[in-house]
Amino acid sequence: MSFRFELLKTAPNGARRGRLHTPHGTIETPAFMPVGTAGTVKALTQEALEELGAEIILGNTYHLFLRPGHDRIRELGGLHKFMSWPRAILTDSGGFQVYSLAELRKITDEGVRFRSHLDGTEYFLSPEKVLEIQMALGSDIMMVLDECIEAPAEYSATEKAAARTFDWARRSRKHLDEAKMRGEGLAQAMFAIVQGGTYADLRKQSARDMMSLGFDGYAIGGLAVGEEHAVTCAMTEEVTSLLPADQPRYLMGVGKPEHIPDYLARGIDMMDCVLPTRNARNGCLFTSQGRLVIRNARYASDQNPLDPECSCSVCLRYSRAYIRHLFMANEVLGAILATHHNVHFYLDLMRRIRQAIEFGDIRDFSSEWQSRLAAGPC
Partner RNA sequence: GGACGGGUGGGUGAGUGGCUAAAACCAGCAGACUGUAAAUCUGCCGCUCCUUGCGGGCUACGGAGGUUCGAAUCCUCCCCCGUCCA
Q: Residues with catalytic annotation?
A: 92, 272
Tell me if 99 contacts RNA by CB under 7 A: yes
Nearer to RNA, 10 or 40 (CB): 40
Q: Closest approach of Cβ 78 to RNA, in Å? A: 19
Tell me if 66 contacts RNA by CB under 7 A: no
DSSP 160: H
Starting at the earlier edge strand, list the strands of the sheet with 122-125: 105-107, 112-115, 122-125
Q: What is the DSSP string of 303-355?
A: -S-S-TT--SHHHHH--HHHHHHHHHTT-HHHHHHHHHHHHHHHHHHHHHHHH
Distance CA 309, CA 318 (A): 14
Q: Closest approach of Cβ 241 to RNA, in Å? A: 21
Distance CA 225, CA 264 (A): 19
Distance CA 370, CA 78 (A): 40
How many residues of this chain bind RNA (CB under 7 A)?
A: 59
Binding mask 145-184 for RNA (x = CB under 7 A): -x-x------------------------------------
222: nearest Cα among 139, 144, 161, 155: 161
Q: Closest approach of Cβ 182 to RNA, in Å? A: 26
Tell me if 290 contacts RNA by CB under 7 A: no
Let me know: does 281 contact 289? Beta carbons within 8 Å.
no
Nearer to RNA, 9 or 106 (CB): 106
Per CB under 7 A, the list member of 58, 125, 162, 362 interacting with RNA is: 58
Looking at residue 51, its amino acid is E
Q: Rg (Cα) of the chain, in Å, rounded?
A: 20
Tell me if 356 contacts RNA by CB under 7 A: no
Q: Closest approach of Cβ 151 to RNA, in Å? A: 10
**Which ranges constitute the DSSP H helices of 126-154?**
127-137
Per CB under 7 A, the list member of 1, 181, 230, 297 interacting with RNA is: 297
Element counts in the chain: helices (H) and strands (E): 15, 16
Mark the segment that binds RNA (CB under 7 A) among 13-21, 169-177, 272-280, 361-369. 272-280
Q: How many residues does the chain have?
A: 378
3 state DSSP class of 311:
coil
Q: Which residues bind RNA (CB under 7 A)?
A: 35-37, 41-42, 58, 60, 63, 92-93, 95-97, 99-101, 103-104, 117, 143, 146, 148, 193, 219, 221-222, 224-225, 229, 252-256, 259, 272-275, 277-279, 281-284, 291, 293, 295-298, 300, 328, 330, 332, 335, 376-377
